[in-house]
């Protein structure tokens, strides 16, 4: 668990979280913990009946709980804050801590970073050890480049971005503001395109780029290929999990959710607010409409209309798919009956 530098007393915390404070004793809180690991300096939250016994037997210094758990908690020695939604209250507290630590922004450029002479660094930034930034690239203010990041030629990064250790951007990649990219991502590698000519797979040159808009987050070891000619585009506010593959010339809308190990073949378009669960695969040149939700491991082989829920292999209307799956278990029994019927008929 993460210990924050600025410890707070219960009175300071209730100003951040809102709610009603029941002060029991003086203490300083500096982190949020699991019940088993909690000590005098820990904040816990209680939103859900299942966790009540663990919270009751914990040694936390402060418990933030829903109003409805008031009577159960009154005998606990911890300081108590009661709110409408304990989880959202604790999120407010953690975000306060995170923002406080971010305010200590101290520009630092590690001497072992290799930065091309024409790269103009912004007033505030951090460049870690062994980062490499090639010629023609620009960085926005307050952007953090961790160790071993490789940023190719002529990339453009916005403000307040964070590239964790070992992110790779191929040349000409464009990234907006407030973009977070986790370790091991590869953005802008060649799209997968070949023509079989005279018995050999001949490479189709990949000379497009990747454009990532504001407020996108991308998980570890995900790969997003450059377009063949035009760009591959990730829309504003979209969140992408680990080990996802996005093929060349895909266009992803705004505020989409792509869970881990999703794969999109080339030139596929997702509307805004599309949600693809884990390991979903989408074939090439398809369109998935705004707000569509596709269940885990589904295989999308046709266009999907906006707003629907889809599921299965191939992906179909989720209600229909559930009915199909429900009858599958009866299939062996019923097929046996049908074979009997067939036999009877032949004998007639």
Binding flag, residue 116, a copy of itself (CB under 8 A): no
Site for a copy of itself (CB under 8 A): which residue of 6, 25, 67, 112?
A: 112
Q: Choose between 71 and 199: whose C-beta lies nearer to a copy of itself.
A: 199
Binding flag, residue 150, a copy of itself (CB under 8 A): yes
Q: Choose between 67 and 194: whose C-beta lies nearer to a copy of itself.
A: 194
CB of 67 to a copy of itself, least distance (A): 21
Binding flag, residue 217, a copy of itself (CB under 8 A): yes
Which residues fall within 8 angstroms of residue 200, CB to CB, at 6 or more apart? Answer: none
Short-list 179, 145, 173, 135, CA closest to 159: 179
Q: Choose between 2 and 25: whose C-beta lies nearer to a copy of itself.
A: 2
Chain residues 187-206 in contact with a copy of itself, contact rule CB under 8 A: 189-190, 192, 194, 196, 199-201, 203-205
Contact characters 2-21, a copy of itself, x per CB under 8 A: x-------------------
Region for 86 from its dihedrals, namely left if φ exceeds 0, alpha if ψ lies in -120 to 50, beta otherwise:
alpha
Which residues fall within 8 angstroms of residue 194, CB to CB, at 6 or more apart? Answer: 201, 202, 203, 204
Chain residues 297-336 in contact with a copy of itself, contact rule CB under 8 A: 297, 299, 301, 313-314, 316, 320, 323-332, 334-335
**Structural contact between residues 259 and 265, judged by C-beta atoms closer than 8 angstroms:** no
Binding flag, residue 135, a copy of itself (CB under 8 A): no
CB of 218 to a copy of itself, least distance (A): 10
Q: How many CB atoms are located within 10 Å of the residue 133 CB?
A: 24
Q: Is 248 one of the catalytic residues?
A: yes
- CA dist list (Å): 335 to 36, 329, 345: 53, 11, 15
Chain residues 37-76 in contact with a copy of itself, contact rule CB under 8 A: 37
Helices 86-103 and 10-17, axial angle in degrees (round to 10): 110
Binding flag, residue 109, a copy of itself (CB under 8 A): no
CB of 65 to a copy of itself, least distance (A): 15
**Structural contact between residues 300 and 317, judged by C-beta atoms closer than 8 angstroms:** no
Q: Which of 124, 248, 303, 339 is catalytic?
A: 248
Q: Choose between 53 and 194: whose C-beta lies nearer to a copy of itself.
A: 194
Report DSSP letters for 23-67, one per residue.
--S---B-EE--GGG--TTEEEEE-SGGGHHHHHT---SEEEEEG
Give Cα 303 distance to the centre of its chain: 24
Binding flag, residue 142, a copy of itself (CB under 8 A): no
Binding flag, residue 168, a copy of itself (CB under 8 A): yes
Q: Can you name the residues that pair with 281 across neighbouring β-strands? A: 263, 299
Q: Choose between 108 and 201: whose C-beta lies nearer to a copy of itself.
A: 201
Which residues fall within 8 angstroms of residue 77, CB to CB, at 6 or more apart? Answer: 24, 25
**Structural contact between residues 308 and 294, judged by C-beta atoms closer than 8 angstroms:** no
Chain residues 223-282 in contact with a copy of itself, contact rule CB under 8 A: 223, 225, 229-231, 237-239, 241-243, 245, 247, 255, 257, 259-261, 263, 265, 278-279, 281
Active site residues: 248
């Amino acid at each position: 668990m993460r210990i924050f530098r600025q410890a707070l007393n219960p009175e300071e915390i209730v100003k951040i979280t809102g709610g009603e404070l029941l002060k029991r004793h003086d203490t300083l809180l500096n982190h949020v913990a699991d019940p088993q690991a909690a000590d005098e300096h820990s904040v816990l939250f209680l939103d859900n009946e299942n966790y009540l016994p663990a919270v009751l037997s914990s040694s936390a210094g402060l418990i933030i709980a829903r109003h409805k758990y008031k009577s159960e908690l009154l005998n606990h020695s911890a300081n108590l804050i009661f709110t409408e939604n304990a989880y959202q209250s604790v999120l407010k507290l953690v975000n306060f801590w995170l923002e406080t630590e971010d305010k200590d922004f101290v520009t630092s450029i590690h001497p072992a970073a290799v930065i091309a002479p024409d790269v103009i660094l912004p007033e505030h930034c951090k460049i870690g050890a062994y980062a490499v930034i090639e010629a023609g690239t620009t960085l926005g203010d307050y952007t953090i480049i961790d160790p071993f990041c490789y940023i190719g030629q002529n990339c453009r990064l916005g403000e307040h971005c964070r590239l964790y250790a070992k992110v790779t951007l191929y040349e000409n990649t464009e990234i907006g503001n407030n973009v977070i990219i986790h370790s091991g991502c590869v953005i802008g590698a060649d799209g997968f395109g070949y023509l079989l000519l005279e018995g050999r797979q001949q490479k189709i040159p990949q000379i497009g780029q990747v454009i990532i808009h504001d407020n996108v987050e991308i998980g570890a070891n995900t790969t997003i290929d450059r377009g063949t000619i035009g760009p591959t585009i990730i829309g504003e506010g979209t969140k992408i999990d680990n080990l996802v593959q996005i093929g060349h010339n895909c266009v992803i809308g705004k505020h989409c959710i792509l869970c881990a190990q999703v794969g999109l073949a080339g030139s596929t378009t997702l509307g805004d607010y599309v949600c693809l669960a884990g390991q979903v695969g989408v074939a090439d040149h398809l369109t998935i409409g705004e707000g569509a939700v596709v269940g885990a491991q589904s295989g999308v082989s046709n266009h999907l209309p906006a707003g629907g829920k889809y599921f299965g292999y191939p992906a179909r209307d989720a209600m229909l798919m559930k009915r199909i799956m429900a009858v599958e278990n009866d299939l062996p029994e019923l097929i046996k009956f049908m074979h009997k019927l067939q036999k009877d008929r032949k004998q007639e």
